[in-house]
Structure 1
Amino acid sequence: MSKNGMISSLIDIRNAFLVEVSIGIPANAILLLFHILMFLLKHRPKPTDLTIGHLALIHLVMLIIIGVIAMDVFASQQQWDDITCKAVIFSYQVMRGLSLCNTSLLSVLQAITLSPRSSWLAKFKQTSTHHSLHSFFFIWVFNLSMSAHLLISTVATTNHTSNSFMFITKSCSRWPLNYLLRNIFYTLGIFRDVSLTGLMALSSAYMVTLLCRHRRQSQHLHSTSPSPRASPELRATRIILLLTSVFVLLYLIDCIVYSFSGIWWENDPVRLCVHILIGNGYATIAPLLLTSSEKRMITFFKSMW
């Protein structure tokens, strides 16, 4: 790519970054604020409220970190030191893992909420909030442990950096781990991603089955067509199904970009930015989808005014 073409691409991607972050941060902040106020004011929560608030917090922090990384890519500033590189890259990877785990948990909780009383999942309805707190603790510990190796392998890029380093950002690089450790962390990462994505697929398939059953029952009861107004649970279920579909789609695109472009192996800011832009589009789309199904937000903020 020519120098002028690279500059033009960087400008376009920088503008896309600004749009993504300027939409995602306020959207996640509003969604998080709503659930905090609902909790503090003792409003009757839904089983998924705590998980949605947690997901909004994760995405808010993630987008702030993306903004910091974007400053390192686009702005002309001094190189980061080792501590800054370790903190930024480690926090970013932890937030990405938490986003995957929390989305999977949200899908499972909604499947439990939608399940009929005759289902074996119904016994978890009353204790779903209690189980969510334990799940949050587990996924935090798990993802902090999964990304701990970055605290050792991430270093600041210098003019004397060896060719064996893997570039992450303009200021940061990674020292390759030995063969055994690299394969251990790679296998654990693949197992986490595949198992949680599969769990999302199973819970989504279960919810689709319940929605189809509800549709047939509605057609039977109304003899002509389903009720024109779906219940809040059904609206929320459709949004969460859409949410998981968006996540899986962006995750697959992200994996393809990662696999075939060698982003982490070359000091190419354009491909690096494309990778981060695609990988974090979910953090901007998720709060918009969740807010669109949250009719309580309009009523709540109107009552506050």
Structure 2
Amino acid sequence: MKAVVIHRYGQVGDVVDVTDIPTPSPGPDEVLVKVRAAGVNPIDHLIVKGFMGAGEPPWPVVIGSEAAGVVVATGTAVTRFAVGDEVFARLDPRKGGAFAEFVGVHDSLVATKPASLSFEGAASLPLVGLTAWQALTEQATVGEGSRVLIHGGAGGVGSVAVQIAKSLGAEVIATASTDSVELVRGLGADRVIDYRTEQFDELVSDVDVVLDTVGGQAQKRSFRVLKPGGTLVSIVPIAEADARKAEWKVEARSFFMHPDGAQLTHLADLVRDGRLRPLLQNVFPLDAAADALTSVERGGARGKTVISVSS
């Protein structure tokens, strides 16, 4: 099968290669998926550079950790899925393998793809969807009447978080660049602050939860807008977290999402109900995987970048 691999760590343009490797066989608890599309994330170029691994892995490493496709074989212990099912999944990040024509995935990480979603749309959802869901429901408790500020409302995580927060009954405030204000408003945000021309901490206060997807000064200033007892949840490390928690009398947590097929099923239900739609920016062919990784590395995207693997 054709796959995107690295044989050593390094810069994307130097080490990423598209080549033929053996097609995997599913383990007892796995489904073998013919990949139709795979999502591209910042963590992928970090893996390429060796920032996410411990020691030297067995080479070659197949990149990619979220995929959508069709089940073509099942392991002996699999009962929830059958050949022909259209599915999507966030893979075990220790194994990867999504940037390939076939991938084996543990059945606990898999969910049925909503019929209304293209394979590209489904492949864009697992990492950002799970990150947003876990931030708002596990790291914080967002519900009816919560007041939530989401930084980077047009980004991969932020665009999904705006919609999930609204589905949970929250009042949603989001930050975005000038050219993304209307887009984020269209996702359901009650108020969108143009961070290029406005200072969110001069306009917002008494927030229950801040979801920080950008870090830096935005993260630091976010403590000012939280009400006492509120929660800052960040997907990047929080500088001087303990001191800031004590100073502002709030909670502050950074985290990295965990794969979960049951939560993906819940996200699929939100898609079916019309309360969640993924935001796609770019679709690259498999042979241009290095270009896709470079595009994501540059940042500033509105929505997700996806690789179209097969038809």
Asked which structure has the greater RCO (Cα within 8 Å, sep 6+), the reply is 1
**Would you tell me which structure has more strand in proportion to its own residues?**
2
Greater Rg by CA: 1
Structure 1 length normalisation: TM-score? 0.25
- Hey, which of these two has a bigger chunk of helix by percent? 1
Q: TM-score, normalised by structure 2?
A: 0.24
